[in-house]
Amino acid sequence: MEGMTILRGRVWKFGDNISTDHIIPGRYYHLRSNLPELAKHVMEDADPEFPKKVKPGDFIVAGKNFGMGSSREHAAIVIKLANVSAVIAKSFARIFFRNAINNGLPVIIADTDKIDDGDELEVDLEKGVIRNLTKNIEIKIQPLPKVMLDILKEGGIVEYIKKYSRLPVTE
Partner 1 sequence: MATMAEKIFSWKLGRDVEPGEFVVAPVDISYFQDGTGPLGIRRFNEFSDKVADPRKVHFFIDHASPSPRKELSNDHRFIREFARRMGTYLHEYGEGISHQIMVEEFAKPGDIIVGADSHTCTLGALAAFATGVGSTDAAIAMSEGGLWFRIPESYRIEVSGELEKGVYSKDLILYIIGKLGADGATYKSAEFHGEAISKLSQEARFTISNMAIEMGAKVGLIPTDDETFRYLKSIRGDQEFLNVVPDEDASYEKTFYFDAKNIPPGVAAPHNVDNWKPIDEVAGTPINQVYIGTCTNGRIEDFRIAAQILKGRKKHRDVTLIIAPASKRVYIQAVTEGLIKIFIEAGGVVLPPGCGPCVGIHAGVPADNEVVLSTQNRNFKGRMGNPSAEIYLASPATAAASALKGVITDPREYL
Applying CB under 8 A, which residues contact partner 1?
Answer: 17, 19, 21-22, 25-27, 29-34, 45, 64-65, 68-74, 76-77, 91, 93-95, 98-99, 102-103, 145, 147, 157-158, 161-162, 167-171
CB nearer partner 1, residue 7 or residue 84: 84
Helix axes 74-81, 94-102, angle to 10 degrees: 50
CB nearer partner 1, residue 45 or residue 124: 45
Q: How far is Cα 124 from Cα 7, in angstroms, rounded to an integer?
A: 7
Written as one letter, the residue type at 89 is A
Sheet containing 107-109, strands listed edge to edge, beginning at the edge strand earlier in sequence: 107-109, 86-89, 59-62, 6-13, 120-124, 129-132, 137-140
CB 99 → partner 1: shortest distance, Å? 4
CB nearer partner 1, residue 55 or residue 163: 163
CB 136 → partner 1: shortest distance, Å? 31
